[in-house]
Chains A and B, each alone.
Chain A
Amino acid sequence: KAGVTQTPRYLIKTRGQQVTLSCSPISGHRSVSWYQQTPGQGLQFLFEYFSETQRNKGNFPGRFSGRQFSNSRSEMNVSTLELGDSALYLCASSSVGGATDTQYFGPGTRLTVL
């Protein structure tokens, strides 16, 4: 089975721009979660989607948004980029997103904001 894929792998943007990241979950997995990883804050939960619905959201400003499509693929969008948004963005998929499920992670998208 193919793993979680994320595109693009690297992005460089400037402050004020917006960016869209994409995640394709493992085949058959219906839950997709997003995490932000920075040296200062570590791994932090952004949001989780299941059946095209956001079920859970972490403590991030409204500039961070996401969506999920009927094929379970997910995108996250960050508007009005700030320098502090530079991070590795990791997507994880699990079968139904239950707390007992194991989340499998993709390789991440490394976003640099200049």
Chain B
Amino acid sequence: AQKVTQAQTEISVVEKEDVTLDCVYETRDTTYYLFWYKQPPSGELVFLIRRNSFDEQNEISGRYSWNFQKSTSSFNFTITASQVVDSAVYFCALSDPTISSGSARQLTFGSGTQLTVLP
């Protein structure tokens, strides 16, 4: 069965600090996709990144970076020089295309990490 664990329920940092959000996943298959979404107070889930299980290269996009490590089943997300506008709930999610064709189309989400950036 698929499972995504975000052990950090809440994180609070002061503006300009770096912060890392942890994500650990479980799946029995070798082919899968990982996602990060951001949910600001408005409620909409905003897509941030998608990574497939064959690509372990870390990625940087502006102040955001992602560290994917298959050996530890982790897909961590770092915000550098955090800003107040980064305050939101961040979700890690897993999609596994190798399970039955129906179930493959659903995302399994972690419980989310509430990030608060204080001015």
Closest B residue, CB atoms, query A3: B44
Binding-face segment, B16-24, B62-70, B78-86, B89-97: B89-97
Residues 65-119 of B contacting A (Cβ, < 8 Å)? 91, 95-97, 101-112
Interface size on A, residues (CB 8 A): 26
Q: B107 — which chain A residues lie within 8 A by C-beta? A: 33, 35, 43, 45, 103
Cβ contact of A110, chosen from B43, B102, B111, cutoff 8 A: B43
Which residues of B have CB within 8 Å of A43? 91, 107, 109, 112
Out of A88, A98, A107, name the residue touching B105 (CB < 8 Å): A98
With A55-B105, A58-B106, A102-B50 already in contact, the answer to whether A42 and B111 are too (CB < 8 A) is yes
Could you say which of A97, A103, A108 has the most chain B C-beta atoms within 10 Å of its C-beta? A103
In the complex, residue of chain B having the shortest beta-carbon distance to the beta carbon of A58 = B106
Q: Closest CB of chain A to B104's CB: distance in Å?
A: 4
Is A66 on the interface with B (CB-CB < 8 A)? no
Q: What's the Cα separation between A33 and B107 when bound, in Å?
A: 10
Pick the residue among A33, A42, A107 that contacts B42 (CB under 8 A).
A107
Question: In the complex, are the beta carbons of B97 and A105 less than 8 A apart?
Answer: no
- Shortest C-beta distance, B2 to chain A (Å), equals 11
User: Nearest Cβ in chain B — how far from A18, in angstroms?
Assistant: 23
Q: Residues of A contacting B103 with CB < 8 Å?
A: 56
Contact across chains for B111 and A102 when beta carbons are under 8 A apart = no
How many whole Å from B84's CB to the nearest CB in chain A? 21
A-B contact pairs, 15 of them (CB 8 A): A33-B106, A42-B111, A43-B91, A45-B106, A56-B102, A56-B103, A98-B105, A99-B33, A99-B104, A100-B97, A102-B35, A102-B50, A105-B44, A105-B45, A108-B43
